[in-house]
């Protein structure tokens, strides 16, 4: 008997015995994560707003982390939004939909995949909503639709601009047509917001795809991408390539390419979002716009923002 057979239990594979792979739970609880140059401390990444200092990759963040960055730590009010009945279609695949919802809620601490808040930027009150990709891939279902409509209604009643941080892969298959109907509901809600002459700004984060792109994520008065490498798409690249039978351009469906085709107005890094959104909202509401009274023209740094807002 050699040393290998001594350490391997009956029926255990050699690779598993020599090196057991970390579970998702192990990775989540670790102090480390990985990026372009290998392991990096989560603490160091957090200090840089969860952006890699070497490759500028914008790592996915939770709604709470996002609003802490955008408004200041805990400097905003979180709303409790309506939650419809779970699993209206009694969906079951490898596990029940109710169990998936239970796991997602335990993992994220959220009742649904969207968080609605009220806060201030540039001394202007705004209503904002953000999705959590850890909640079933930030997919859209009835509860998320209710959260979105709640946010829009709050914005209309309080006459505030509405900011949406979009994320997710589309509509949630476990709710079938109920989920798909949220595309129409959110679109109608946005139209009502615009009828009240209130700005609707969308920050497209990585990834924004599917029915989310086909509805509320592309209806902003301004569509702003977070980083130049955010995935912004409808159908997947491989599906498109297989359909058109041609190779796709470099960086296809990345924000830098999508901007060239006219679907994105601006690309901003995470560290610049608060300042630039504040300027844009000021311009749209005609409140303290970044205009030089002496020269009666926008400053050099604000010219791209004024052009986007015009």
CATH number at residue 253: 3.90.226.10
In a domain, 12, yes or no: no
Query: 3-state class of 159 per DSSP?
Result: coil
Say how far residue 43 (Cα) sits from the centre of its chain. 22
pLDDT given for residue 16 in this prediction:
58
Q: Has residue 5 been placed in a domain?
A: no
Residues 95 and 205 in one domain: yes
Same domain, 160 and 305: yes
Residues 148 and 284 in one domain: yes
277 and 204 co-located in one domain: yes
- Give domain status of residue 8, yes or no: no
Mean pLDDT of the chain: 89
DSSP 302: G
Q: Is residue 94 part of a domain?
A: yes
pLDDT digits (tens, 9 = 90+) for 292-309: 444 444 555 656 666 666
Number of domains within the chain: 2
Same structural domain, 51 and 68: no
Range of the domain at 24: 20-57
What are the pLDDT digits (tens) for 90-123? 999 999 999 999 999 999 999 999 999 999 999 9
Contact 162/151 with Cβ under 8 angstroms?
yes
Q: How far apart are CA 96 and CA 242, in angstroms?
A: 33
Residues 235 and 249 in one domain: yes
What b/e readout covers 148-181, taking b as 16+ CB neighbours within 10 angstroms? bbbbbebbbeeebbbbbbbbbbbbbebbeebbbe
Task: Let me know whether 84 and 27 are in one domain.
Answer: no
Q: Give me the mean pLDDT over the 50-59 stretch.
A: 93
Rg value, the chain, Cα = 22
Residue 42 falls within a domain, yes or no? yes
Question: For residue 182, what are the contacts with CB-CB under 8 A and spacing of at least 6?
Answer: 140, 141, 142, 144, 145, 148, 171, 211, 215
- 253 and 120 share one domain: yes
> What is the Cα 254 distance to its own chain's centre?
15
The pLDDT tens digits of the residues spanning 62-76 come to 999 999 999 999 999
pLDDT of residue 17: 52
Burial 208-226, CB ≥16 within 10 A → b, else e? bbbbbbebbbbbbbbbbbb
pLDDT of residue 26: 74
Maximum alpha-carbon separation in the chain: 89
Burial annotation 9-35 (CB, 10 A radius, 16+ → b, else e): eeeeeeeeeeeeeeeeeeeeeeeebee
CB 225 within 8 A of CB 266: yes
Task: Classify residue 74 as exposed, middle or buried by CB count within 10 Å of its CB (0-12, 13-18, 19+).
Answer: exposed
pLDDT-wise least confident of 33-47, 86-100, 178-192, 266-280? 33-47
What is the per-residue pLDDT for 126?
Answer: 98
Residues 153 and 40 placed together within one structural domain of the fold: no
| Distance between CA atoms of residues 227 and 132, nearest Å | 18
**Mean pLDDT confidence for 5-32:** 64
Is 149 found in the same domain as 46? no
- Same-domain check for residues 158 and 29: no
pTM value is 0.86
Domain presence at residue 6: no
pLDDT at 30: 85
| Domain presence at residue 91 | yes
Note whether residue 173 is domain-resident: yes
pLDDT at 292: 42
Same domain for 30 and 152? no
* Distant-in-sequence, close-in-space partners of 86: CB < 8 Å, separation ≥ 6: 97, 98, 101
Q: pLDDT tens for residues 201-258?
A: 999 999 999 999 999 999 999 999 999 999 999 998 899 999 999 999 989 999 999 9
More confident position, 212 or 26: 212
């Amino acid at each position: 008997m050699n040393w290998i057979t001594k350490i391997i239990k009956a029926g255990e594979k050699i690779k598993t015995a020599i090196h057991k792979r970390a579970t998702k739970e192990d990775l989540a609880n670790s102090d480390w994560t990985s990026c372009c140059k290998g392991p990096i401390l989560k603490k160091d990444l957090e200090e840089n707003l969860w952006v890699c200092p070497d490759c500028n990759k914008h790592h996915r963040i939770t709604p709470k982390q996002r609003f802490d960055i955008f408004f200041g730590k805990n400097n905003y009010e979180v709303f409790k939004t309506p939650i419809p009945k779970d699993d209206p279609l009694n969906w079951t695949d490898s596990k029940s939909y109710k169990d998936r919802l239970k796991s997602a809620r335990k993992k994220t601490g959220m009742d649904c995949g969207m968080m609605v808040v009220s806060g201030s930027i540039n001394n202007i009150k705004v209503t904002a909503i953000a999705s959590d990709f850890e909640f079933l891939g930030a997919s859209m279902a009835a509860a998320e639709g209710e959260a979105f409509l709640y946010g829009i209604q709050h914005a209309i009643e309080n006459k505030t601009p509405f900011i949406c941080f979009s994320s997710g892969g589309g509509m949630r298959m476990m709710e079938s047509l109920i989920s798909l109907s949220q595309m129409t509901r959110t679109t109608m809600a946005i139209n009502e917001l615009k009828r009240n002459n209130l700005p609707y700004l969308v920050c497209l984060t990585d990834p924004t795809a599917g029915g989310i792109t086909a509805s509320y994520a592309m209806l902003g008065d301004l569509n702003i991408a977070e980083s130049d490498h955010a995935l912004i798409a409808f159908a997947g690249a491989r599906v498109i390539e297989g359909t058109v039978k041609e190779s796709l351009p470099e960086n296809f469906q990345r924000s830098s390419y999508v901007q060239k085709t006219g679907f994105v107005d601006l690309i901003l890094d995470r560290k610049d979002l608060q300042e630039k959104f504040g300027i844009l909202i000021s311009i749209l509401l005609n409140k303290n716009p970044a205009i030089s009274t002496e020269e009666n023209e926008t400053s050099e740094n604000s010219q791209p923002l004024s052009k986007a807002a015009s």
